[in-house]
Structure 1
Amino acid sequence: MILNRRTPSIWVFGVDHDAIQLTWRLLAPGPLRLRVVEDDVDCDVTLQVDATPGAVLLTGLPSGRLLTVEASGASLAGPVRLLARTLAALPGEELCRIATVSDLHLGTEVFGHRGTIDDPFLHPDPHPVRCARAALGEAVAWGAEAIVAKGDLTNKGNPSEWRQYADLLAEVPVPVDGLPGNHDHGHPEARHALTPAEAAGAFGLSIAQPLTVRDLPGLRVLLIDTTRGGRHGGTLAPVLHDVMDAVAEADPAGGVLIALHHQLQPHRLPEGWPPGIGRDESASFLDLLGAAHPHVLVTSGHTHRHRRWGRAGVVVTQVGSTKDFPGVWAGYVVHEGGMRQIVRRTQAPDAIAWTDYSRVAAFGAWEHAAPGRLDARCFDIAWSRRHP
């Protein structure tokens, strides 16, 4: 089990090549001053905070630097110093940006293994809707040219839930491709559930059936349906040959981003619930990917946690849900010489208030298990082969 370790009031959640995202809770109302102490860095901002959770992005920072951010003000008992290293600048020009969201679970009203955590906030939109809307909006504002939604788009596959998903996408000004999760294949309690294929036809949605391939400058994106009807775990077997053909045909000087719902398991026993794609199948898949292309990143959802590992030169990540702690979206920036993953907490007040409240799941362990390590959320991958 990987645990997140942080200070109880304010901590570093994410880094980029030129930015640091700080997040907090339990601050007293009043001014909060955030200052980079290094003399050659001009970053000094003051915010007014209240007693609610929040987050802020400090921008304009130098790349590849270990920086000290001092937090002070009436909202803190005394100055707090936080260390964070910005990511290195990737070689070459930026070619494209793409964002992902995972595990929207539109239609649910509660959280926790037994559904015991209710939304205490008087908001006209249920928490999955307002969190997904905020995450999508922040990803677009960041510069995403396309968005991938990595499954569990709905909670039970009901027509009303699929309509909510379609309505959200209608607000997004960039293309959104989705792939199914196990929850999207209905539930014994679902009322007239639609399969993902039926929902795609009824609402004009782009959903992998079972494979969608998109080409962006410097990047081939594959969305793969790994679901098995009626089961929590997944498999790649039905589409493996088509996937490997698409990977082998990608430009070897660029990158390949593979989006799944089910996580690839590095061990024979899963790291807690839910199960993903078994270790043997995962290892075989990664060995094939590593032999087929030099620059592959596989990203999944399903666990609502953040993890990073690798095999055969392939980087594997899990990214958390939009709708529960810590409440995130992920961005991928492709350069001529590499790719960067960044994960950001959704900062909208009506979203972060709920996602922070949901940290109490699993008897309070969720706030430590879900975020994972900072270097599992934000990192660079330099290509071994460069554009001429």
Structure 2
Amino acid sequence: MPGVVVSDGLRVTRTDEDGRFRIDQVRGPVFITRPAGWRVDRWYVGASAIDPVFTLSPAPVQLPVRFAHLTDTHLGTGAGYPQPAEIGTGERLSQAFREIAAAHPGLEAFVVTGDLTDRGLPEEFAAFVAATATTELAVYAIPGNHDHLVPDPTDLVSRNGYAIHSGEPRHYEDYLGPRWYSFDLPGLHVVAVDWFTHELGLDHETQDTWLRADLEMLATGTPWIMLCHDQPWRSILDGLPSAPIATFSGHRHTSRVVASGPTLHVNTPPAMFGGVDNSPATYRIVVWDGERITTGSHQTYPPQSDTRSGWARTTQALWSTSTPAIGQRTPFIVADGRVLVPLALDDEARGALAAYDACSGKPLWQASLDAPLRSAPAGAGTAAIISSTVSGTTWAHDPSTGEMLWQRPTSDPLRRFGFYPPTLVDGLVLVGDQAALRALDQSTGEIVWERSDIAAYQIFITLSAPVVDRSGANGSLTTVLWAGFPEPSTPVRLDPKTGETIANSNEVVAEGLFDVLTSGAGLPIRTPSVDPATGDLIATGLTNVFRRSASGSAIRWSYPTSVPWNPVGVNLGSHGVLVVDAGGAVAMLDPVSGEQLWRTEIAADSDECFLTYRRSPHPLFAQATTVGDRLLIPALDGDIVTLDARTGDELGRFATGVPILAPLVVHDGTAVALHRDGLLAAYPLATLAGERL
């Protein structure tokens, strides 16, 4: 067959009229770019093969073409994570292949974008290969950083300033062959790269040479997509003959779909367990119709129950209204009589901020944003509502009309993963991440200062926002404190006006990323609270709630949680430190000693899981809301539980029938709830406590 593209991973050629090709001094495995509409008996041979033959047979495929995007299956035992962890297994992956194929007839293939294994061990690769043998569909895989782990990885910072670890690729190649390659779908070219070794600089020049040569084989104007373990950065994308129409990645354990220029960047959560951003286990169905790429998200584990679809029971609601997207895990706010709801339409790569009248639920306005909004907006008095999308773009809108007051583009649409809300302090807006924190003027959006030296660029997204310290611990100066997982490992104190570091302890909590994971060191994974008397931080950590000195690593006390990566931040109030343990309990702690004042188990028959590295359902997810001496606890079975804040006694339970993922917000005698199905409803407080109106 003439015109078939063949490569050794560096040089690229085509077969001649007789179907023959020649590559001299072969550098690695020889592979073909499978033409659209053809099946191949094998797609690569070892570099030592002499006169290899690839046999193609017709396999007609019609538009639209659909494939399933899975990522970060992490097949392994789960050792090395805070326990209990539920990562992937070969059996689970085989089950997923079967169920996805059955749910979506006509799929062309599965695409798995890296971290196939958890430790890169031969037995883990064998389990992955065995799982692929259980499906009749083609499985296209690429390696991730975990697939290159060696027995004793070391932490390092890459040539592009990325805090990562060492690794090498031999086990992946032994079991799965070439780490970069290409194939064709009707009217669409697909390239796959090894992002990790490219980032480490082990073979980036070779990959770059091959990638450009491969793309130069395409007819002018041919659209193409890229498979990459992490969101590809400029180090990979710059200088190519043309831009991809889409990229597909994982690595971050998040859901982030953004458009940058002509390219749709699709970052998908893990397929076997919940994401770091508390996405459920997810896969995406990708459709190529010959002109454009579209995606649709689906939950893998636990399967979505039919009982959770449909509207919440609102017969006793003061008002209810539907929002344009499913209910988020992201908190909403009430400001100046308006309910301001962040919206994320991930599969459409867009977001919005929607306003509703807090007394009637009447829609007031909706402002479109450049990307999904997965963090709460912040109210700057009556002057502006400020929000920051997952791409890092920051917006200010008029609270009354929704008119855009200003917009500040992201500092890097490829690298910014904006998942925490803006911090407002003294007329400034703090947004960004550890590697690029910026302060914007609240009135104009102009950049006042920007820091890129607080920490290297991180593997994990930042969910702990900087906090304002007015405790007087640093004299009369208002300061900004920042500590998070995995960096900054000790609190950094900043002058909000200049961004300059005021004080930063040299103490070290843990030696590196893997030490932090196994030790459960005292690093906030959610935005901490500041003790107003001492300036100490009280925060949710990987395995506990803790109090630590803001000037070092001293842990004053620690209170364990039943599940790791507890998604709920602490609430420091007049009754003590309020802890919502997603495993099924609410506790009140003494803020000074950490002594448990009371603990109440909350039973809830939930079929939802939003926990990091977990897939088993759990009962609680959202922060409690304090109303005087009462606590309102939304549960994932749809119940709203009322507790006595002084004793923990249960005072009432109100069943809505549909899970509530975000904290309730109290307004004018009602508790406003955003349900899983997107219904916004206001329930009278007296009804929630079981009292008659």
TM class by shorter-chain length? 0.5 to 0.7
Instruction: Tell me the secondary structure at the aligned position of residue 323 of structure 1.
Output: coil
Q: C-alpha distance in 1, partners of 2:169/2:203?
A: 17
* Structure 2 gap segments, 5+ residues each: 1-61, 154-166, 275-279, 306-327, 332-341, 351-693
1:288 and 2:260 equivalent?
no
Q: C-alpha distance in 2, partners of 1:337/1:163?
A: 38
Aligned residue in 1 for 2:98: 137
Equivalent position to 1:168, from 131, 149, 154: 131
Aligned residue identity for 1:117: P
Q: Which has the higher strand share?
A: 2
Relative contact order (C-alpha < 8 Å, sep 6+): which is higher? 1
1:336 and 2:336 equivalent?
no
Count of matched residue pairs: 237
TM value normalised by structure 2: 0.31
> What is the correspondence of 1:102-117 to structure 2 with a 5 Å cutoff?
102-109=71-78, 114-117=81-84
Q: Which has the higher helix share?
A: 1
Q: C-alpha distance in 1, partners of 2:268/2:129?
A: 22
Compute the displacement of 1:301 (Å).
Answer: 0.8
Q: C-alpha distance in 1, partners of 2:299/2:201?
A: 27
Aligned residue in 1 for 2:207: 239
Compute the displacement of 1:117 (Å).
Answer: 3.0
Aligned residue identity for 2:263: V
Equivalent position to 1:188, from 151, 173, 189: 151
Q: C-alpha distance in 1, partners of 2:247/2:287?
A: 15
1:376 and 2:346 equivalent?
yes
1:298 and 2:250 equivalent?
no
The answer to whether the 8 A contact 2:76-2:88 is kept is no
Change (3 A) 1:103 1:238: same
User: CA-to-partner distance for each residue in 1:123-170, whole Å, 9 max, x for gaps?
Assistant: xxx754454233322332313212221111111111211111111111
> What is the correspondence of 1:1-388 to structure 2 with a 5 Å cutoff?
94-109=63-78, 114-119=81-86, 127-141=88-102, 142=104, 143-188=106-151, 196-201=169-174, 203=175, 205=176, 207-209=177-179, 211-228=180-197, 236-251=204-219, 255-264=223-232, 282-283=233-234, 285-289=236-240, 292-293=242-243, 296-325=245-274, 326-346=280-300, 349=303, 374-378=344-348
Indicate the RMSD between aligned Cα atoms, in angstroms.
Answer: 3.7
Change (3 A) 1:308 1:237: farther
State percent identity of aligned pairs. 23
Q: C-alpha distance in 1, partners of 2:118/2:236?
A: 29
Q: C-alpha distance in 2, partners of 1:176/1:260?
A: 15
Instruction: Tell me the secondary structure at the aligned position of residue 197 of structure 2.
Output: coil
User: CA-to-partner distance for each residue in 1:208-256, whole Å, 9 max, x for gaps?
Assistant: 43x2111111221111111239x88998544123213323433556531
Q: C-alpha distance in 1, partners of 2:211/2:224?
A: 11
Q: C-alpha distance in 1, partners of 2:251/2:96?
A: 17
The answer to whether the 8 A contact 1:102-1:150 is kept is yes
Change (3 A) 1:188 1:309: same
Compute the displacement of 1:329 (Å).
Answer: 1.3
Change (3 A) 1:208 1:311: farther
* Structure 1 gap segments, 5+ residues each: 1-92, 120-125, 265-281, 352-365, 381-388
Aligned residue in 1 for 2:545: none
The answer to whether the 8 A contact 2:148-2:171 is kept is no
The answer to whether the 8 A contact 1:306-1:377 is kept is no
The answer to whether the 8 A contact 1:95-1:336 is kept is yes
